[in-house]
Amino acid sequence: MQLNLRQIEVFRAMMLTGSISGAAKLLFVSQPAVSRLVAYTEQRLGLTLFERIKGRLYPTPEARRLFVEVNAVYESVRRVNDVATDLLENRIGHLRIACSPNLGQSVVATAISEFYRRFPHVRIILHTMIPSVLQQAVLAHQVELGVAFVDSVHPNVAVKRIDENRLMVVLPCGHPLASADAVRLADLAEEPLIGYGSEIPMGQLLRRLINESGCCIDIKTEVQQAHVACALVQAGAGVSIVDELTMAGICWDRIVARPFEPAQCAPVSVLHPALTPLSRPASEFIETLEWSLSKVRDR
């Protein structure tokens, strides 16, 4: 049996609220109507989706697995409704963008502000994602543009490098290395280093540099985002290596950044589906993004 949209809607409401009464309120229907539809869905599927334990309903493992796919369907329907709303309200268009979290706090934020000044009627939907997920979103046409630090991409993804984005060593104010012209990995051998997860490009780059240097480096703390690493340095938890755009995007106090030596980069690129022509808003946004890079650096 295949689920229809109404059954999907009720099932999703149950998973989100955790109760029949909560689902009924969310959908503006009666509790008996929700209860009947859930029972009917379980009967037709031949699966138990919810079990009652001590008076409360709990989703089964089968329900949790089904919920992953149901959410994907719900997002697809929501995107259809977004397009319909844009057409109804005579908007010029909309642009879906994904970016790395720290870029969303620096160059992408500046670019969106300038883009709205030039194109006030274009609607932007911005998602923040780690680069591996972002690339999949571009491949699946869930977003039209991605902005991220990337080393390699799928052959069906077009890449335009827009900035070299050098690496910097971030230190607390007053640190012995804070006045150095540049800092090498060997200088950090005795320091508690704040590093990154191996699933993100910055983490992969840092591990490669450590392995190539032959230095004994202690990665004391592992984070997922460069601005979180800066916050930890600010709090006195250690030192870190971040990209210069992260440092340029926010006014950090109580920390200083020194050039990493030998010079290394975490290149920033724009990604889009290789076999699909860019829309006019997307092309204009790329130009605005390149303009914004100079503005972020001038702050």
Q: Quick one: 135 and 218 in the same domain? A: no
pLDDT band at 236 (very low <50, low <70, confident <90, very high): very high
3-class SS at 167? strand
CATH number at residue 58: 1.10.10.10
Q: How far is 96 from 265, CA to CA, in rounded Å?
A: 27
Per-residue pLDDT reduced to its tens digit, 162-209: 999 999 999 999 999 999 999 999 999 889 999 998 888 889 899 999
Q: How far is 143 from 138, CA to CA, in rounded Å?
A: 5
Q: Inter-axis angle of helices 280-298 and 107-118, to 10 degrees?
A: 130
CATH number at residue 274: 3.40.190.10
Q: Quick one: 211 and 149 in the same domain? A: no
The pLDDT, as a whole number, for residue 85 is 72
**Tokens coding 13:** 């409401």
**Tokens coding 65:** 């697995």
Per-residue pLDDT reduced to its tens digit, 286-297: 999 999 888 776
- In this structure, what are the phi and psi dihedrals at residue 258, rounded to the nearest 5 degrees? -120, 150
pLDDT band at 153 (very low <50, low <70, confident <90, very high): confident
For the segment 268-280, the average pLDDT, to the nearest whole number, is 91
Give the contacts of 46 (CB within 8 A, at least 6 positions apart). none
> How many C-beta atoms surround the C-beta of residue 264 within 10 A?
19
Domain count, the chain: 3
Q: How far is 117 from 295, CA to CA, in rounded Å?
A: 15
Cis peptide before 61 (omega within 30 of 0): no
The pLDDT, as a whole number, for residue 175 is 94
Q: Quick one: 189 and 255 in the same domain? A: yes
Q: How far is CA 260 from CA 107, 169, 170, 209, 222, in A?
A: 21, 6, 9, 11, 19
Q: Quick one: 170 and 259 in the same domain? A: yes
Q: Quick one: 24 and 77 in the same domain? A: yes
For the segment 273-287, the average pLDDT, to the nearest whole number, is 90
Among the three residues 70, 88, 106, which one is the final residue of a domain in this structure?
88
The pLDDT, as a whole number, for residue 187 is 93
- In this structure, what are the phi and psi dihedrals at residue 54, rounded to the nearest 5 degrees? 50, 45
Among the three residues 63, 88, 113, which one is the final residue of a domain in this structure?
88
The CA-CA-CA angle for residues 208, 212, 216, to 5°, reads: 95
Q: Quick one: 132 and 49 in the same domain? A: no
Residue 76 structural domain: 5-88
Q: Quick one: 158 and 272 in the same domain? A: yes
Q: Quick one: 58 and 16 in the same domain? A: yes
Q: Quick one: 103 and 68 in the same domain? A: no
Among the three residues 58, 88, 118, which one is the final residue of a domain in this structure?
88
Provide the pairing of β-strand 56-59 with 50-53: antiparallel
pLDDT at 91 exceeding the cut of 70: no
Q: Name the one residue in this structure whose structure tokens are 């274009």.
A: 122
Q: Quick one: 36 and 96 in the same domain? A: no
Question: Do 288 and 95 contact (CB within 8 A), yes or no?
Answer: no
Q: Quick one: 64 and 196 in the same domain? A: no
Q: Quick one: 18 and 77 in the same domain? A: yes
Residues 189-225: b if buried by 16+ CB within 10 A, e if exposed = eebebbbbeeebbbbbbbeebbeeeeeebebeeebeb
